[in-house]
Structure 1
Amino acid sequence: MVDQDRIIKINIEDEMKSAYIDYSMSVIVSRALPDVRDGFKPVHRRVLFGMNELGNNSDKPYKKSARIVGDVLGKYHPHGDSSVYYAMVRLAQPWSLRYPLVDGQGNFGSVDGDSPAAMRYTEARLSKLAEEMLRDIDKDTVDFQLNFDDTLKEPTVLPTRIPNLLVNGASGIAVGMATNMPPHNMSEVLDGCVAYIDSRGEIDVEGLMEYVKAPDFPTGATIYGYAGVKEAFETGRGRVILRGKAEIEPAQNHDRIVITEIPYLVNKAELIKYIADLVNEKRLDGISYVNDESDRSGMRIIVDVKKDANANVILNKLYKMTALQSSFSVNNIALVNGRPRQLNLKDMIKAFVDHRQDVVMRRTRYELKKAEERAHILEGLIIASDNIDEVISIIRSSRSPQEAIERLIERFSFSDIQARAIVEMRLRQLTGLEQNKLHAEYEEIEKLIARLKEILENEDVCMQVVKDELQEVKDKYGDKRKTDIIYASEELNPEDFYSDDEMIITISHMGYIKRTPLTEFRAQGRGGVGAKGSETRDEDFVEYIYPASMHATLLIFTAKGKCYWLKVYEIPEGAKNAKGRAIQNLLNIEPDDKIQAFIRVKKLTSDLEFINSHYLLFCTKKGVIKKTLLEAYSRPRQNGVNAIGLREDDGLIQVKMTNGDNEVLIANKNGRAIRFHESAVRVMGRTASGVRGMTLDNEEDEVIGMVTIKDMEKETILVVSEQGYGKRSHIEDYRITNRGGKGVKTINITDKTGKLVAMKNVTEDNDLMIINKSGITIRMKVADISVIGRATQGVRLINLEKRHDEIASVCKVLSETDEEIAEQKAERDALLEREVHESVLTPDVIADLPDDDEPNDDSEGREEETE
C-alpha cells in the first residue's frame, strides 16, 4: 500500500511535452545560441573567465591546456572535457576566428582539417584582445550568478569593449532553430557603432552599410555579388556567395591556376582531393596536375592546365563544380534578454552600444562609490594632520585601539571609517611632505568625483566615453579588410564556361542545327567550310552555313511573331557530317508555330552603341512592315517574347537587320513589287503592329518576300513563279515610290506562269535551290538566268513533270567553284581577326553574309555543301 502511494500516475504525453520543452529551452539558452551583448555561448564565456581567474594573461607565461580545461570543468562547466578543449581550440584558430581570443602554442589543428594535439601537449593564454573583453569585470560592470554547485560565482555576460558577435560571428544548432553569423571587420563595425551613437540611434540599416560594407572572413576570398549581403544586413537572413582568389600564371608551354585564398570554412585538403577526383573521373577536362604548395608564407594551390585548354574556362568550371565557390547562409539569431531573436545589422549594433552604455554606467557608479569612500577617508586624515598633536595625545592616552577610535569620534565627529583610518595611520604620514600629498590627492579625488557624476547625470557625456573607448580599441586592434567585394556579379555567367572560339553554324532546310569548330573545317584538304558529306534526309539540304563565335546570340523569329534567343554554345556540337538537332527541341516553340528568320548578334547585351544604332525590319504576309531598334530585343527570356503584334489572319514572313539607311523591296504573289526607303517607316516599340508597307490586290493576295538592297551594282532582283518561270531584273527597273502603294509589275502573271512564290536579291556568285511540292530538289546557277525587263513573264527555269506539281520554295546559296571556296576561306580567316557583330538570315532567303559591323557590305561568309 505504501509503495502504491509513492507512485504518481501522469499522462505520458504531458510529461514528454514538458520534458522536451525544458530540454529545448536549456539548449537554446544555455548551450547553442550566443548572447547578443558579448557574442558568446556559455562555454566560451567560461573558458575566457576561467583563464582570467587563473591569471593566464597575455603578459604571463603559457599554461598547459589541460590545466585550463580542468579548471573550467571543475568550477564552471560540468560537461565533457572535449567540449571545453575544442571550444578553446577554436578561439585560437586564425582561420576560424577573424580575431582570435586565445594565444595558442603547439598544434591547434590546420585549415586542412587536421585535429589539434591532445590538451596535455598544447599550451595557451589569453590574447590581448580577449583582455579587452574582460576589462573592468571586477568593477561591478556585469551581473554574476552562482555556478553549478553554488560554491563560486560566474559572469552572465562579459563587459566586452569589442562587438564580438559581429566581428567574430557565431554558429550553433539549437532545438527548432539555429544560428550562423559571419565575422566582420572590426574597424568597420566600430565605425558603424560610432555612427549609430552620433545619430542617436536614428541611422537606418542602409546608413550603417556605409560603414559596415560586408562580412570579412578570416580566410580572405572574395564576396561575389552584393544582393545576399544587403538582404542579410536588412533582414538577418541572406546568402553570401564566396569565391576563392585565384590567378592565372604562365608556365612552360602552358598556363597554371594559382589559388591563394579559399572560402571560409572550406577544407583545403578536401578541396584539392575533390579536384583530383573530378579529373580522374573525366568530369573535368583540361587539368594535368594539382598540388598543394602552401607553407608558412601563405596558401598556394597549383592547378596546371593542359596546353590546348583555356585557363579561364577551367577556372570558371572550378568555381562551378567545387567548393572554390561556396555560399555562407546568414541566419542572425541571438539571445536578447534571454530570448532568441532574429536580428538585422542595426539590432546587433544597438544591443552592443546599449550594453557598453550599461557597462560604463555601472563602472562609473562603482568608481564613484570608491572615490567617495576614499575622499571621506582623506577628509578625516586631513583634519587629523591639522590637529596632529591632539590626535596623538588621544591615541597615546587610550588603553586600546577601540577606545582611541571612540574618543576620536567624540572629539572630532569622525565617522567610524575615518577614525579607524587615523588610528591605523603610519608615523611617516606625519611628515610635512606626506601631508601635502594628502591635500593633492584630495583635490584629484574631488575632480574625479565631479567627472564621474557628470557621466552619470549627462547621457551625452556618457556616450562620449563609450565612443572614446571604442576609438581606442579601433586604434589598437583595427585592421584592413581581408575579404574583397565584387558588387555587380550575382550568378555565374554561362559564357564563363566556354572560350569564345569561332564556330561554323549549319542549319538545314528542315530546321536541323549544329555547330562545328572552325578548326575542323580549316583542316580540310580544300580548305572550305562546306557541309560536304552532311547526313541529311533525302529531301533535306543544308540551307545556312555561317561563322559565329561561341558567345554570339541567335535571335529566332517565328510565324506567330515570337522572338526566341539561342546562344551559340547552347547549340549541340556536331562533326562536319553530322545531321544536327531539330531547333524546335532547343526552344519552347509552340507545336503549330514555324521558324521564319534568324539574326546573329555578337554582343547582344554589352555593345550598347551597336544595338542602339541598328534596327530590325519585320514584314508580314498581309503587307505590314515594322521597324524597331535592335535594343528592344536585347533582354532574353526563356519562353520568348512577342516580337510584333499580329492580326489573327496575318503571319510574320521575314525579318531583316538594317542600319537605318537601306532600301526595301516587297513583292506579292500577284506579281507586283514596291520599292521605298526604310526612312519612310518610323521606329516603333517591340509589341507594336507596324504600318502598311504594301496594299494587296484582294483578300486572297499576300506578300511572298521582302529584300533589303545592299549592293546596287552587283545585285539583281530574282523572281520565281509557282509553275517554274523566273527571271532577273535590274534594281533600277523598280522606281522608288511611297510606302503603302500597290507597287509596279515585277513579273507578268499568267495561267502558264502561276502565282509568284519567291523574290530574292542575288548576285552571279549565287546558286539557286528550288524545292518542289513533290519533294524534288533542283540546283542551278543564277548566272544562267537571263536579266530581262521587270514586266515580262520570264523564262522556264525547270520543267515540272508532274501535272499538279508546283514550286514550294526557293533558296539561294553560294556557288561551288574552287575560286569561290578559296575566297570564302580567306574571308573566314579574316573573321578571326575582327569582331563579328551580326548578320541577318531567313529560312527561305539565304542572304549574302554582310560584314557584321556594316550590314550593307556584300562580303560572303559561308559556303553551301558540295555535291
Structure 2
Amino acid sequence: MTRATDDPTGTSDEKILNVDVSTEMQDSFLEYAYSVIYSRALPDARDGLKPVQRRILYMMSEMGLRPEKGHVKSARVVGEVMGKLHPHGDTAIYDALVRLAQSWTMRIPLIDGHGNFGSPDDGPAAARYTEARLDAVALLMVDQLDEDVVDFVPNYDNQLTQPDVLPAAIPNLLVNGASGIAVGMATNMAPHNLIEVVAGARYLIEHPNATLDDLMAFIPGPDLPGGGTIVGLAGIRDAYETGRGAFKTRAKVSIETLGPRKTGLVVTELPYLVGPEKVIAKIKDGVTAKKIQGISDVTDLTDRMNGLRLVIGIKTGFDPEAVLEQLYKLTPLEDGFSINNVALVDGGPHTLGLRDLLIVYVNHRIEVVTRRTAYRLARRRERLHLVEGLLIAILDIDEVIQVIRASDDTDQARTRLIDVFELSVLQADYILELRLRRLTKFSRIELEAERDKLREEIAQLEALLGDPALIRKAVSDELDEVAEKHGTPRRTLLTEARPSLAGASKRAQPVLEVADAPCTVYLSTTGRVVRVDREETEELRADGLTAPVVASRRSKHDAIRSEVVTTRRSEIGAVTDTGRLIRMPVLDLPAVPANSVQLGAGVKAGDYLSLDAKREKVVGLVSLDSTVPIALGTAQGIVKRIAPGAYPARPDFEVIALKTGDAVVGVAQHSEEDELVFITSDAQLLRFFQASVRPQGVAAGGMAGINLGAGASVIWFGSVPDTGDAVVVTIAASTSTLAGADVGTGKVSEFTEFPPKGRATGGVRAHRFLKGEDTLTVAWAGPAPALAVGHDGAARTLPESGARRDASGVGLSGVVGSVGAARRS
C-alpha cells in the first residue's frame, strides 16, 4: 500500500511512503478496539460506570444540580459534558443520560428526570425538551471527591481534570447492572437488590474467605426493575460462579374474572426491558397467523396512577392456564437474559463472578475510606498547628503587637515572630493575618475548645488509619447506612419452577385443556407455598420408590406448616394472622415434582399474595370445598370453628372478629375425631375435642379456648390427628437475650403424656424452665417425625423423643426458628 503526503520542501507535489497493509490494519484496528473497550463500552468494576456515565454524574455535580435544586435542560448538561470532558457526539451523551434516569432500566436511577424520558417501547424526547438533576442516590456516587479519595486525570485537551473513578458509596455495578458492546467482547449484567448486595458485601468484609454459597444466601439472584418472575436458578449460579450464565424471566400474570362469563389474564409486571406494546404486537401477529388460540381481545389499561395493567381476554371454553403457557412460548411474556459479567479491573477487561465483583468493590471502598481518613487527618493536623500558634499569640498578645510594630516590613515581622515565640512559618503568617476581633477573651476560649476537639479527632483518625479492621468496619457501617436509607424491597420473585414450552420445538402444539387433576398444596414453616401434582406422586410409586426414600431427600424448607389436598382447577384459602382469608387459585402456584420434596422451590406466600410482611403473614392453608369446619386459634386464647359452605364469594374476607391486639396464630381443618391443641408462652398445653366448639359464621368472634396466665400468650395452635405417633416439641429460652442469640433448650415428648382437659381451662405444664429461662420461643404438636429448621431454612437437630411432659429441655446445636411436620407420600 502507498500513502501520499505533502512534500514540505516543495520540490514535488507529493511524497510516496510504502506501508505494509497488514501492519497498518493491525495497528489501526488495535487502536480503535482499545479506545472502544477502555473509553466507551465497558464499565469499571469499581464504580460500575462507563466513562460517559461517570463524566455526566461528575459534571452535574460540578454544576450544582443537586436534588434540592431545580431541574435544568438536559441539553445544557449534554453541552457541558461534551465541551469539557467527553469529546464525542451529543447523541451518545444524551442516550447515556436518559438511561441513568429510566426507572425500568436502572434498579435505582441516578438521575431525576423531568419530562418525556421514554418508555420500554418508545424513545425519549429531544434533549431540548427534557430536564434533569441528580437523584439523592447519585450524591453517594460523587460524595467526598474533594477529600482526595480518588485520582484525577486530565481531560481530552489537558485543560481540566476529571476523576479516574468515582468513590461510589453504593455497589452500583451489581445494583444497576450494565450493558455494552465493545470490539471482540461485550458485557451484559443484571440489576440486583441494594439491600441484598450490601448484605453480601458486609458478610464478605467480615468473612474474607466466604464461599459463593455463603454469598448467595444473601444475594439469591437478580432483582429486575420491572419485577416479574425468574424461572430456574441454575443459570444464575453459573453466572455467579463463572461470570457467564442465562435465566428466563416471566411476566407476573393472574387469572381474573372480567365479567359474569368471561375470564382473562391480567399482566401487571413484564420481563426486563419488555414493553406492553411489544407484547400486544406479538399477540396480534400470533392470532393473525393462527399460532395463538383462545385470545378474544387485548386491552392496555396502563396508566401512571395504577402502573402496568395488560388485560388479555380468554375465549369461552379455553383453559386460561393453557393459554398462558402458549403465550409464554410465543410472546415476550417469557424472555431470556444472558449474563456476561465483563468489566474493567486494573485497566483491563475481566470476566467476573459474584465473589470477584464484591471483592473489587469492597477493596475500592477500603481504599476510598483509607484515603479519606488520611486526608482528614492531614487537614486536622494543619488546623491544630494553626490553632496552637494563635493560642501562643493571644497569651502574649502585647508582645506580639510590639514585635510587629517594631518591624520594618512583613518579612522582618515574620522572622522575629518565629525567633521570639518559636513559631513555624505557617503560624507566623497566620498571626500576621489575624484580625483584631479574634483577640478577645471569648475567642481564646473558643480556640482552646477547638484545640481539644481537634486533638480528639486526630486520635480517632490515627487509630482508624492504623487498624485495617477498623477501616473495614467503617466501610461495612457506611454500606449499612446506605441500604437502610435507599434500599427497597425485592421486586422479582425467584422460583425453581419448570420453564415454559419456550424451550420446546416451535412446531409443538400446546395443549389448551389442562385436566383438573388431584394435587396437594404445601405451606412450609418458612412461609413458602408450592403445588405437588398427585399424578406425579403415583408415577413415583410406580417406579418403586417408597415413602422413606422420598423422605430422605429432604433439604431446606421441608418442615410443613400446613397442607391441603385439592385439585389443580380449584381455589384454596390462605388464612393470615389478621384474620383474613384470601382465595388462592391452585393453578397459579409453582409446581414441583413429587420426588424432589423441595418446598424451597416454591414462592414466599407473602410475596405471592402481595402482603405487607411487617403487617400480615400467612399462618395456614384451608380447603374451601371441604365439608369439614375450619378451626382458628388466636394469641389471646380464642378458638373458633367456621361452618363449611358459609364463605362469601369475594376474593378475600374476614373469618374472625379479632379483639384489639389479638392475632391468629394457627389454623386447622381436620375431622371431628382430632383434638385441638393450644401451647402458650408460659409452657402450658391444652388439648380438647373439636366437638366442644360449635361452628359459627365468618362474622363471629369465637369463644374462650384456653385460660392464659399473666403476661402469657398462645404461640402455637392446631389439631392433632389420632394416629398414635404424635409428639410435642417445645423450645425454651430467655426473654432477656436478643432474638436469635439464645440457642435455648428443647425437648420432644409423646403427645399421650398430656392429659386432655376441657375447653376454657388452663391446660397442663409442657416444659420445666431451667435457671434463666422464662418463655417458650417455639412449640409444635403433630405426627412424628418433627422437623426443625433455622431462620434461614437450614435443618436443625432435635432431641430424641420420650421426655416427660414437664421435664426440662436439653441444649440444642443451633437456633431453631420453627418446627413442622414431615411430608408424607
CA deviation profile, 1:105-159 (whole Å, cap 9, x unmatched): 1111112x22211111111100010000001111111111111111000111001
Measured after TM superposition, the shift of residue 342 of structure 1 is 0.5
Check whether the contact 2:116–2:124 (CA below 8 A) recurs between aligned residues.
yes
Q: Identify unmatched segments of 5+ residues in structure 2.
A: 1-6, 520-532, 551-825
Which residue does 1:461 correspond to in 2?
Answer: 470
- SS, match of residue 365 in structure 1: helix
Match of 1:60 in 2: 69
Q: Secondary structure at the match of 2:67?
A: coil
Q: Does 1:299 align with 2:289?
A: no
Matches of residues 669-684 of structure 1 in structure 2 within 5 Å?
A: none
Give per-residue Cα distances to partners, 1:486-527, cap 9 Å, x unaligned.
12434549899435567xxxxxxxxxxxxxxxxxxxxxxxxx
Q: Which residue of 2 aligns with 1:362?
A: 371
Map 1:207-218 onto structure 2 (within 5 A).
207-218=214-225
Match of 1:236 in 2: 243
Q: State the alpha-carbon separation in 2 of the partners of residues 479 and 275 from structure 1.
A: 33
Kept in 1, the 8 Å contact 2:42–2:180? The answer is yes
In the alignment, which residue of structure 2 is the partner of 1:168? 176
Deviation string for 1:319-365 (max 9, x for gaps)?
A: 11111001100000000111110100000000000000011111111
User: How many angstroms apart in 2 are the aligned matches of 1:134 and 1:501?
Assistant: 55
Q: Assess, with a 3 A threshold, how the Cα gap between structure 1 residues 103 and 426 changes in structure 2: closer, same or farther.
A: same
Residue 265 of structure 1 is aligned with which of 273, 295, 307?
A: 273
In the alignment, structure 1 residue 139 sits paired with structure 2 residue 147: yes
- Would you say 1:98 and 2:107 are equivalent positions? yes
Tell me, what secondary structure is at the counterpart of 1:151? coil
Selected match of 2:211 from 188, 193, 204: 204
Residue-by-residue CA offset, 1:775-824 (whole Å, 9 max, x unaligned): xxxxxxxxxxxxxxxxxxxxxxxxxxxxxxxxxxxxxxxxxxxxxxxxxx
SS at match of 1:309: coil
**Cα distance change on mapping 1:137 and 1:291 into 2, 3 Å:** same
* Structure 1 residue 398: Cα displacement: 2.8
- Which one-letter code corresponds to 2:404 in the other structure? I
Q: Which residue of 2 aligns with 1:20?
A: 29
Aligned residue for 1:605, secondary structure, equals: helix
CA gap 1:283/1:499 in 2 versus in 1, 3 angstroms: closer
1:245 aligns with 2:258: no
2:96 maps to 1:87: yes
Looking at structure 2, the residues matched to 453 and 20 of structure 1 have their Cα atoms a distance apart, in angstroms, of 50
1:438 Cα shift? 0.5
Paired residues of 1:266 and 1:323 also in contact (CA < 8 A): yes
Say which SS state the counterpart of residue 607 (structure 1) adopts.
helix
Secondary structure of the equivalent of 2:113? strand
Contact 1:291 1:303 in 2 (8 A): yes
Match for 2:248: what amino acid?
I
Q: Which structure would you say has the larger Rg?
A: 1
**Residue 410 (structure 1) aligns with:** 419
1:38 aligns to what?
Answer: 47
The 3-state SS of whatever aligns with 1:239 is strand
Q: How does 1:298-697 map to 2 (within 5 A)?
A: 298-490=307-499, 492=501, 497-498=510-511, 605-607=536-538, 610-611=541-542
Counterpart code for 1:151? Q
> d(CA) in 1 for partners of 2:474 and 2:544?
62
1:115 is aligned with what amino acid?
A: G
Distance 2:514 2:157 in 1: 74
**Residues 685-711 of structure 1: per-residue CA shift (max 9 Å, x gap):** xxxxxxxxxxxxxxxxxxxxxxxxxxx
**Which residue in the other structure is 1:657 paired with?**
none
Distance 2:355 2:297 in 1: 48
Distance 1:403 1:117 in 2: 67
* Residue type of the alignment partner of 2:220: K
The alignment status of 1:224 with 2:155, answered yes or no, reads no
RMSD: 2.5
Which letter does structure 2 place at the counterpart of 1:187? Answer: I
Mapping 1:731-750, distance limit 5 Å = none
Shift of 1:383: 1.1
Q: CA deviation at 1:267?
A: 2.7
Match of 1:183, SS state, is coil
1:660-686, Cα deviation, whole Å (9 max, x unpaired): xxxxxxxxxxxxxxxxxxxxxxxxxxx
CA distance in 1, matches of 2:253, 2:443: 69
Partners of 2:500 and 2:320 in 1: CA distance: 20
Distance 1:190 1:496, change over 3 A: farther
What is the CA-CA distance between 1:608 and the residue it aligns to? 5.9
CA contact (8 A) 1:312 1:496 kept: no
Confirm or deny: 8 A CA contact 1:498 1:550 kept in the other structure.
no
Give the letter aligned to residue 38 of structure 2.
V
Identity of aligned residues (%): 45
Match of 1:121 in 2: 129
Please give the secondary structure, in 2, of the residue aligned with 1:125. Answer: strand
1:59-101 deviation per Cα after TM superposition (whole angstroms, max 9, x unaligned): 1111111111000000001111111011101100100100000
SS in 1 for 2:145: coil
Q: Which amino acid aligns with 1:35?
A: D
SS of 1:50's equivalent in the other structure is: helix
1:254 Cα deviation after fit: 1.8
Q: Does 1:29 align with 2:38?
A: yes
Q: 1:603: Cα distance to partner?
A: 6.0
> What corresponds to 2:600 in structure 1?
none
1:123 maps to a residue whose letter is E
Separation in structure 2 between the aligned mates of residue 491 and residue 300 of structure 1, nearest angstrom: 22
- State the SS of the aligned residue for 1:242: strand
- Look up the SS of the partner of 1:379 in the other structure: helix
Task: Count matched residues.
Answer: 521
Q: 1:773 maps to what in 2?
A: none
Once residues 264 and 175 of structure 1 are traced to their aligned partners in structure 2, the CA distance between those partners, rounded to angstroms, is 25
Q: Secondary structure at the match of 1:148?
A: coil
Cα distance in 2 between the residues matched to 1:550 and 1:468:
53
Q: Is the 8 A contact 2:169 2:365 kept in 1?
A: yes
> Which whole-Å CA distance do the structure 1 matches of 2:326 and 2:499 have between them?
16
What is the identity, as a one-letter code, of the residue corresponding to 1:498?
Answer: V
Distance in 1, matches of 2:107 and 2:381, equals 42
Corresponding residue SS for 2:147: coil
- Once residues 497 and 354 of structure 1 are traced to their aligned partners in structure 2, the CA distance between those partners, rounded to angstroms, is 51
Aligned partner of residue 91 in structure 1, secondary structure: helix
Q: Which residue of 1 aligns with 2:164?
A: 156
> Which residue type is aligned with residue 57 of structure 2?
L
Contact 2:318–2:512 (8 Å) recurs in 1: no
1:499/1:550 contact within 8 Å kept: no
TM-superposed deviation, 1:212: 0.6
**1:194 shift after superposition:** 0.3
Query: Is the contact between residue 70 and residue 81 of structure 1 (CA under 8 Å) also seen in structure 2?
Result: yes
CA distance in 2, matches of 1:499, 1:77: 55
Residue identity matched to 1:323: P
SS at match of 2:156: coil
Compute the TM-score of the two structures, normalised by the length of structure 1.
0.58
1:3 CA displacement: 5.0
Equivalence for 2:193: 185
* 2:322 and 2:513 in contact (8 A); partners too: no
**One-letter amino acid matched to 1:96:** T
- Contact conserved, 1:192 with 1:208, CA < 8 A, in 2? yes
CA distance in 2, matches of 1:442, 1:193: 38
Distance 2:415 2:390 in 1: 16
Q: Corresponding residue for 1:8?
A: 17
